[in-house]
Every structure is written in C-alpha cells, then in structure tokens.
Structure 1
Amino acid sequence: MRFFPRSLLGGALCALFGATGLQAAPSVDASRLGRDLTPIGAEKAGNADGSIPAWDGGLTRAPAGWTPGHGDPFAADKPLYSIDAGNLAQYQAQVPEGQAALIKAYPGYRLDVYPTHRSCAVPAEVAERTRANAGQSRIGADGWRLEQAVGAAVPFPMPQNGVEVLWNFKLRYMAKARRAQIALLMREKGGDLFEVKQWATEYYPYNDPAVKSPADTDGIEAKLLYDVLSPSSRAGEMYLLHSLLDRPQDAWIYFPGQRRVRRAPSFAYDNPVAGSDSLYFVDQINMFTGALDRYDFKLIGKKEMVVPYNSYKLVDKANKYEDLMGPDYLNRDVQRYEKHRVWVVEASVKADKRHSFAKRVMYFDEDSWGLLHVDIFDAKGNLWRVQEGSQWADPGIQACTSFEYVSYDLVARRYLADGFTQEGEVLDLTAGLEGRVTDSLFNPSELRRRGER
C-alpha cells in the first residue's frame, strides 16, 4: 500500500498554537496554485503510468442536450476492466477495505472501472480567492473549530492535517444553494422497497464571495431543510439543520400532528435517522455532516484509488428506483468507477468522547474535495458499515456536485440509499445563483409558518 511522500502534502504538520487559533503553516506556497497544483490544490500532472491524466480545466461546457439528470458526457466510454471476486487480489491495493469486503460478501458485486476523466472544473472566482487567501484560514486552539476563512474559496488548498481536509470538504464549492426532490430507499426484510420522498433544499452561505469571515454567516456552515412528502403517515414532517463552524449543529423538527416546531438536540451524531431501521445515523447525511469535535482526524496521505466518479449513469432520470435497488446491493450496471488520487483521513473517536463509530477511514477526491468513500469500524475494530458517494461535473455551476450515496451495513446485511433524485421532478443546482433559494427560508419561524399553511 504505497502512499505519496508527505512533501506532496504541503510540508510538516503545524503544531504552533496561538491565542486565537493555529498559526498558518509557513510552508504554504500560494504560487504553486495554478502552476504545478490546480487552483484548489490538486496535482495538475497525471500519474506515472498515464492511468490518471493531467488536469486540463475540467468539464466547463455542457454537451449538446445535456442537463442534470439527463445524458452522460462520457457515454461512449467502455469499461477497461471489472474488479470482482475472481481478480480482487490483483487490485486489492487500489480499492478501499469496504469495497473489498462487499465483493467478498455478495456474489455478483463488482466494480466496473472506466477511463479516468478529471471533469471537476473550478470557477474563476473560487480559483482567484483560494490563491489570494492561501495560508490565511485558521483552526481554533481546540483543534477543530474553524476560526478564520473567506467565502467561495478552499480554506486549506495545501492541507497540513486531517481537520483541514475535513473543512475543505465541508466548504467545497457547490454554488450557494440547491434543491431537489429526493428519496431515501431501502429494501425491507421481506424484500419490498420502502421509500421516503422529500423535498431537499440546501443553502451554503460560505459559497458566497461576499463572505470575509465566519462572522458574516453568523457561524453557519450550511443550512439544510427536508420536507417529507411520503409515506402518508409522515407527510408534512419538516427537518431543519444548521451546521455550524464552531459548535454542534442546531436542529428543529415540525410534526404536523402536533402543529409545533420542536428543537431537536438529539438530531445529531450517531442518533438514527427516522424511518431507517437504525441503518443510518444523522452524521452520515451527505456522507458526513455535523461538528468535528468527537474525532481526531489523522492525515494518512494521498493514494491512487478506484472510486465512484462521473456518476451520470446512476443519476439519469431514465432509472427507476425499483430497478436500481437490488436485494443486496445497488445495481452494478449503473455504477461507474475510475482511478483517481484521493486524500486518506483516519477519524478516531477522542478518548473523552463517545460515538458508535469508533473509527472512520475517509477518501476525499483531490480535484473537488468531495467525499467519495467511507469505511466505518466498531469499537472492536471490525468493519461495520461502508458508505459510497457519487460525483459528477455540472458545467452550470462550473464544479462537481453530488447527491446520491449508499450505506451498506455488513452486520445487518442490509443497505440504504439516500439523496436519490432519479424519479424526482426537480434537480436544481443553480437555485442559489439565480435567487430561487434564499437564507430567509431556513429558520424555525418559517418552518412553523409553512406547516400552518
């Protein structure tokens, strides 16, 4: 298992604490951004054997007829090879432990590996602001709070530690807001498909170039609003989350039967998501959400791995949920994998904290800072759950985005999918750029007003 030298990670770990936070690492050289590094910190060059090409700016123009959920810019590609139980040993070093476990556990589970396309673009303003502010972002003296960063920029393009990688993921550019009709899906024990349909509206104030510091967003990282549409027994429920830069998230729930908005402090960390049969915890939403305070994040290094990428076949609205959700795993024919360089971070529960997940091993795409895969371990060190993300480039926002993701429980031998948009009528990634979603939507009083209409 070969990791790249730490010199490529931007230098030695910064360990000097100041009165207000960690000091900027002196080894951060902003002139590398746009030269040998992409504007947000990835290596521009391809790899030694050419299986990962050089970054050429990404997918900045939509192919003719393409819109989100319709079409595939790389539809002409054919798989280079597949990884399955018969040849896993040959590729073991290139797949996360969780993928290897799924291949071994389920007959027919495979990874179809396609030519690599580094499709993630970077908006010009994000590139400019990241370079101008490189070395200025600060982590607090507690080791996890974000105390200084500007909007519409990657805070740590040359990360020195795991926490900085996590903040790059949490503040990655996906435009200011988006909305979609999504579904949470799982097979019940009898085999029937259970579905929770929702409106998802997500607001990312840190993607606004007007933001100069955390004070400009009132310490808000993201605001998430979920309106339940079905099943009928839950229709009208609403969930509002405020993810925060310096403390655990705030949450509120509206129950239509009570016609009340209730604060929900338990809607966080490893508390189960309603309707998930305890297969899915709150901080697994969007692959990882919420505060970083319960884990130590160790930066392991950068590695070439086979990961889900350019997931256009998966998100295509020609797909039906019944066909996507197999009895044991997601339909393999719609999954696309490519070899990419990823940052590997190991999250271990702090000695004075508790969490049902004792360890998480997380794989972040170097070109977008998206979280593509997570292996989750219990307190005995056993692999428990496997999370798989999706990622695809949208020229409309000049960046990569993701909605769909899957969580496999190897103990319960069941799995769950969330954020699926294929049967939804709306997939709107430019809602914030064009003013269809604004900050006023994301407060408890608005939740109450909407519930009482």
Structure 2
Amino acid sequence: MRHRFLVLTVFLPLAWHAAANAKVSEVEAARLDQDLTPIGAERAGNLAGTIPMWTGGSATPPENYRQGEIEVDPFPDDKPLFVISAENMDLYRENLTAGHQRLLRQYGPDYVLPVYKTRRTAAYPERIYERSRDNAVSATLLDNGNGVRDTIATSPFPVPQNGLEAIWNHILRYRGEEVSFRSAFATPTVDGSFNPVLTEYDYFFAYSEPGVQLRDIDNKIFYLKTRIMAPSSLAGTLNLVHETLDQVRSPRLAWRYESGERRLRRSPNLAYTTDLPNSSSLRSVDQKDMYNGAPNQYDWELKGKREVYVPYNAYKLHQPEATADEIIQSRHINQALTRYELHRVWVVEATLRTGMEHIYHRRVFYLDEDSWQILATEEYDEDGKLWRISEAHNISYYTVPVFWTTLELTYDLRSERYYVDGLDDGQGPYDFSPGFRGNEFTASAVRRSARR
C-alpha cells in the first residue's frame, strides 16, 4: 500500500549541497508565530479531529504533582480508545509504520498497540522558543553538511528544507541544560530472563546553556559521564564522552575506565556501526538516543509528513511501580504499560552512500513534529530486509519543561531479542539542576573521581 503523505517535500539525495547556504526568509519564519508552533509544528489539528490543536503543551506540572517526586501521569483516567492487533491491523494500516506492522505480525497475538486519545504535551521554555525563531533565519548547514553554523540552544531548522536539516533538528533538540539520573538497561534472552545494568548518567548540554554562543562551546554539543553501579562484575566502569558538533572535522572524544584495569583509556571507535557497549550486539552506537553522531555516511531524504500511531506520553512506563520485572517479557516488553497516540510525524529516509560501510543500508526515521524527537525507526540490512525496529517512549518532564525519552527499545527481528534502556526501578526523578561545572567533565577530573 502506498502511504498518503500530508506534506510532500521530496529532494534529490544530495540536495543539501544546493540548500546549504539557503536561509528561511523572515516571512517564512513569521509562521512560527502564526500557523506553526515556535518549534515548527502545525498548530491546527487534523480535519478528522483525531489530532487536536496545539495549545502550549504540558508547560506546568499537574495539580497532583509534588515537587521532588517522579512525574505523575497527567491523564490517569484515560483509557484505550481501541487496541490494534495482528487480527485487526488492516483497519489501521494507513496509520501504521512498516515496523509496527511487522511487529504485530511477527509477535502477535500478545503484541498489541493500545491507542489512546492524542495529547500534544511537548513544551519548552520561552527562551527556547525565542532561540528557535532566531535559528530559523540564521542557521545554515556547513558546506559538507556535517555541522551547522549560526545556531544555538535548540533545533536549528524549525522549517526544514531537506532531510539533513530535519535530522539535525533531532540531534540538536533541547533536552535541558544539565541532568543527572540513574536507570538500567538490559538485553533479555528469548525466554525473558535478564540481568539489568544500573548506570548513573550525568549530562552537561553546552549547546543549550543560557547566554552561550556557538563560538563559546568549542564545537561541543554536550558532555556525558556514565558510571555503572551494578552488577558487581561491571561496577565502577566509567565512560566520558565529549559530543562534537562537526564530528568529521573533530570526531567525538570518548574515554573508558574499567575498574579491573584502573586506567582511563581513549575509546577511538565509539561511533557509527560499532556495537553499543554491553548491548549484546543488539544495537549500534549511533542508535543511542535513536540517532546520534555525524550524518556523513548517508544520503538523507525528507519524504514529508504522515499521521502515524506512535509511542507517546509513556507515564505508565515512567512510574516507580513499573519495575524491570513488570516491563520485561519474552520477545517484547509488556505492551499493557505502553501508550500509542496518533501524531503527525516527519518521515526521513537515510540510504547508505556509495563507498561507506554500515550494518544498516537503509534507515527510516519518524520525527515528532512537536518536539523533533525521533519516535520510531526502521533499520534494513544490505539485502533490503527489515532487520531492527526501535521505539522511543517519551514523556513531558513538565518541571523544566522538556519532552524526552523515559524508555528506548530496539527489537531484533532475527534473534527475537531486544535491547531496553531507561528502566528506572524506583531510582528517583531526573535532576535537571544538579549544578554541574564544565571542568567536571575533563579526562583528568574523571580519572581522579574513578580512583576515589
């Protein structure tokens, strides 16, 4: 079946060469205060009334939220409107991704998609909206497309002209200024047994710091420290990442400290198709955060928009009672804890460029129009066969506010195993104001902390 796109904007694979120096006009940018939201989504709902108008999102906590606690579900009384299964999926095929159709067929009948009322909760601080408007008329791709100039704080291209601009919107989207949290990831076996790896994450988003300019951040998007807390065999393992903006000119810097060696070593290959550490080879490094790193290996095509059922407002998965034992099942997670909604998404297709090597030869990305967060992906092998499917289950962290993942998944259709990241298990809320300083993320600082 051919999909019907709401907005069709098709470009030649290397169209960014021609568009690299083009900027959105003041007239086009003015739409961000008119028919478009400040981030670039359509303010209006759809004609059917199944997607509502955007009215500002969840910019403040609900009345039943208590400061210092994990985000509560703002919609506790919502019930599924219907449930999509392998038996009835043909009724909803027009609004299903190819990946979800495959999961329904292969993992049914117990794999289902519970569909809820659409809630457009994505919201950001006012300063981010102001920067988005500024970025619209100033940001341009570098000549090689591997970086962006004249942008800061948030997605650079709220009115994207091609696929490369759209993927940069995801890479540079606002995720707060700093955050510290603990969560676990796991790679369950086919029978559902697993050993979670509890990890502490500290992010410092240099690109989004208030008042900063692009020239001030030394080509860095963010700094990340991770420390494995459990199991004991891995406890004490540290990773330090300096995420660069133009990774071809200045590749990602990464170091790893393993307690058994007691040395901080450079990790020269932590990029692209390299296996994500401790992922049982179920995920590549560039699948972390759904997609990251330099986009130079692919040709990017903006296919347009679709109305699709996607994971959204995953507050059930975010609650303390949603333990790893409750979430993890054989072959797939507990779908009763998931929530899918009908949203407009930008569809971007990436095709491996001639001469490049990657395990994925074609990739399809579904980007939320309200946040630029990638919500789902499909990864195809060299024979054109669908191999892996990834999902991002997101919530609005309304105290910031910011729209970000609470759980990420990658399903491997060959092995029928999966990788799941974001198992909170009552670890407490994310701290979006830990008070980090930039010098805490140097190699020497991490080396000192590892030896304590």
Could you say which TM-score interval applies, normalised by the shorter chain? over 0.9
5 Å matches for 1:287-326?
A: 287-326=290-329
Give yes or no for the alignment of 1:169 onto 2:166: no
Question: Is the alpha carbon distance of 1:31 and 1:186 closer, same or farther for their aligned partners in structure 2, counting shifts above 3 Å?
Answer: same
5 Å matches for 1:267-306?
A: 267-306=270-309
Whether contact under 8 Å (2:186, 2:420) holds in the other structure is yes
Cα distance, 1:7 vs. partner? Answer: 7.0
Aligned to 1:22: 21
Question: Is the alpha carbon distance of 1:311 and 1:229 closer, same or farther for their aligned partners in structure 2, counting shifts above 3 Å?
Answer: same
In structure 1, distance between residues paired with 2:341 and 2:164 = 26
In structure 2, distance between residues paired with 1:163 and 1:28 = 22
Give yes or no for the alignment of 1:400 onto 2:403: yes
Give the ranges of 4+ consecutive aligned residues of structure 1 lying more than 6 Å apart after TM superposition: none
5 Å matches for 1:26-105?
A: 26=25, 29-66=28-65, 69-105=70-106
Structure 1: runs of 5+ lacking an equivalent: none
Question: Is the alpha carbon distance of 1:287 and 1:153 closer, same or farther for their aligned partners in structure 2, counting shifts above 3 Å?
Answer: closer
Alignment: residue pair count: 441
Whether contact under 8 Å (1:313, 1:335) holds in the other structure is yes
Cα distance, 1:127 vs. partner? Answer: 1.4
5 Å matches for 1:246-257?
A: 246-247=246-247, 248-257=251-260
When structure 1 is superposed on structure 2, of 256-265 and 203-212 the one drifting more is 203-212
5 Å matches for 1:328-347?
A: 328-347=331-350
Whether contact under 8 Å (1:299, 1:346) holds in the other structure is yes
5 Å matches for 1:351-430?
A: 351-421=354-424, 423-430=425-432
Cα distance, 1:424 vs. partner? Answer: 4.4
Give yes or no for the alignment of 1:262 onto 2:277: no
In structure 1, distance between residues paired with 2:406 and 2:350 = 23
Structure 2: runs of 5+ lacking an equivalent: none
Cα distance, 1:297 vs. partner? Answer: 1.3
Cα distance, 1:82 vs. partner? Answer: 0.9
RMSD: 1.9
Q: Secondary structure at the match of 2:287?
A: helix
Cα distance, 1:318 vs. partner? Answer: 1.1
Question: Is the alpha carbon distance of 1:88 and 1:127 closer, same or farther for their aligned partners in structure 2, counting shifts above 3 Å?
Answer: same
Whether contact under 8 Å (1:384, 1:409) holds in the other structure is yes
Give yes or no for the alignment of 1:242 onto 2:242: yes
Aligned to 1:142: 144
Supply the AA of the counterpart residue of 2:229: L
Whether contact under 8 Å (1:403, 1:419) holds in the other structure is yes
Cα distance, 1:131 vs. partner? Answer: 1.6
Q: Secondary structure at the match of 1:380?
A: coil
When structure 1 is superposed on structure 2, of 356-365 and 397-406 the one drifting more is 397-406
Supply the AA of the counterpart residue of 1:48: L
Identity over the aligned pairs, expressed in percent? Answer: 36
Cα distance, 1:64 vs. partner? Answer: 2.4
- Write the deviation string for residues 191-234 of structure 1: whole angstroms up to 9, x where unpaired: 42221111011221111231222x21110112222101111111
When structure 1 is superposed on structure 2, of 63-72 and 287-296 the one drifting more is 63-72
5 Å matches for 1:181-260?
A: 181-189=182-190, 191-213=192-214, 215-247=215-247, 248-260=251-263
110, 113, 124: which one aligns with 2:112 = 110
Question: Is the alpha carbon distance of 1:368 and 1:8 closer, same or farther for their aligned partners in structure 2, counting shifts above 3 Å?
Answer: farther
Q: Secondary structure at the match of 2:325?
A: helix
Cα distance, 1:25 vs. partner? Answer: 4.2
Cα distance, 1:436 vs. partner? Answer: 2.4
In structure 1, distance between residues paired with 2:363 and 2:381 = 9
TM-score normalised over the length of structure 2:
0.93
